[in-house]
Amino acid sequence: MAVRCSKFKRQFMLLIGIFLVLTVILQIVPSFYEAQNNIVTAMKFPQFESRLLSNKSFTVVKRLKDPVSLWKVHPSDDRILLQAKFNPKIDLSLSPKRILLEQGLAGWNVKGGKQTFNDHDCPVQHCELHGHPNGEVFDARIFKEIELYSRLLQGAQAEVPRHSDQVWIMFALESPEASPSYEGLNDVINWTATYRYDSTMVTPYDKFQVYDNFTQISNYKSDKNYAQGKTKLAAIFVSNCYASNARLEYVKELQQYMDLDFYGSCGNLRCDKGFGNNCFENLQKEYKFYLSFENANCRDYITEKFFLNALRHDVVPVVMGAHPDDYRRVAPPGSFIHVEEYPNAEALAGHLKRLNELDDEYNDYFRWKSTGQFVDTKLWCRICSLLWDTDLPHQLIHDLEQWWRGDNICIGKGRWDEISNSSKLHVRK
């Protein structure tokens, strides 16, 4: 009896042992794999792993598991909400952080003093906005892109003395194609606030936040038929005929294969004539597709043409501009068609004409509508909170021109998939 019992006990212990070893292996292997992965992605331009996103109708939004820090660029988190909610302990007996806006308050359409921080309900409101240098010591200065170069040349440094702990912030909305040269602006800018994903504070034109309970896009189906009542296929509005990409040529080519109404000063139709006062309100009632073609093909450069004109209206955006990965990272899942999903204009036109016949498939592009919401990116709150960070890291952009306009940031008339195998792409200095 004793022998049988101890044999049983041995077997039992063996089983426990195997169980423990398996548990440990299952824990270690994935995190090892992840760590390997992170080393790789950290060296690249931050982006989702495309295998997670390549399937456009079944996009799964998944975050890599490495911790998100306020300051470090993360491959799949723009840190916007983290920064906006950041609430460091502050000593209210200290004077507020003073922020000088180089373009004056009107240039930013904000109120001076603490008002803006109160209005935005910021977690930290102990900051002040100033429109003029008035003999005060400033903790931060914000330069808009256009004035950056000229202001610094004019001696912005001399006008308001720069203290060693004064943070200089570059803000930009335009593409590098439309920005002045930053040649020579080395080691002067501490933080960047631009739509670029590798900015200190990412400031996209808009932000769609998927709800936490989001599972996958195929689970969502709207009862609404977004095709109903729409009698026209596609429209584009272009007021600036200049574009460094092949936008106009592509539009002309598309017009050979499909109905495409061309509004604006470069087209033959006008928005105000016979189209009501609000182009975009009417647009969504009549058209199925809106061509959100940017005027430059540059990384992350995705403007209100995409977010406001199309997504915030019930029309499907067909996009040209940033890299497809950049769109996938900021767009609601399954919400758009990138021109590079098709080898040429004829193939794209074929797809749009097919969707014109198939309401179910057209409606798939609207499944995202109940999966999340557009959120305020709270730039002012983020600046205030970050200035109060007790662990404020020392940061400096060594070569601003190289960062802003480096290799393969903009690709002119090229296609991203033609250069995407180039070893230079995404590698940051």
Which residues of this protein are in contact with ligand NAG, per CB under 6 A?
Answer: 55, 58, 164, 167, 187-188, 190, 211, 213, 392, 394-396, 418, 421
CB of 137 to ligand NAG, least distance (A): 15
The least CB distance from residue 354 to ligand NAG, in Å, is 17
Beta bridge partner(s), residue 298:
410
Query: What does DSSP assign to residue 7?
Result: H
* Cβ partners under 8 Å of residue 111, min gap 6: 105, 119, 129
C-alpha–C-alpha distance, residues 176 and 173, integer Å: 9
Residue closer to ligand NAG (CB basis): 300 or 364: 364
Q: Which is nearer to ligand NAG, 237 or 362 (CB)?
A: 362
Q: Toward ligand NAG, which CB reaches closer, 93 or 213?
A: 213
- The smaller minimum CB distance to ligand NAG, of residues 89 and 394, is found at 394
Q: How far is the CB of 340 from ligand NAG (least distance, A)?
A: 12
Question: Could you give the CA distance from residue 41 to residue 332 in angstroms, rounded to a whole number?
Answer: 22
Choice between 32 and 58, CB closer to ligand NAG: 58
Residue 58 CB, shortest distance to ligand NAG, in Å, is 4
- Cβ proximity to ligand NAG: between 213 and 390 the closer is 213
Q: How far is the C-alpha of 313 from the C-alpha of 309, rounded, in Å?
A: 6
| Token pair listed for 82 | 């983290």
Minimum distance between the CB of residue 417 and ligand NAG, rounded to whole angstroms? 6
Q: Return the C-alpha torsion angle 7, 12, 14, 17, nearest 10.
A: -160
CB of 163: closest distance to ligand NAG in angstroms? 9
Q: What is the DSSP track for 46-104?
A: P---HHHHS-GGG-------SPP-SSS-BTTB--HHHHHH------TTSPPEEEEETTH
Q: How far is the CB of 10 from ligand NAG (least distance, A)?
A: 47
Q: Closest by alpha carbon to 240, among 149, 327, 174, 172? A: 174
Q: Which two tokens stand for residue 366?
A: 């609207």
Q: For ligand NAG, which is the closer residue by CB, 168 or 301?
A: 168
**How many angstroms from the chain centroid is the CA of residue 9?**
59
What is the greatest pairwise CA distance in the chain? 99
- Compute the least distance from the CB of residue 49 to ligand NAG, in Å: 14
**Spatial separation of the C-alpha atoms in residues 367 and 224, rounded to whole Å:** 10
Minimum CB distance to ligand NAG smaller for 19 or for 211: 211
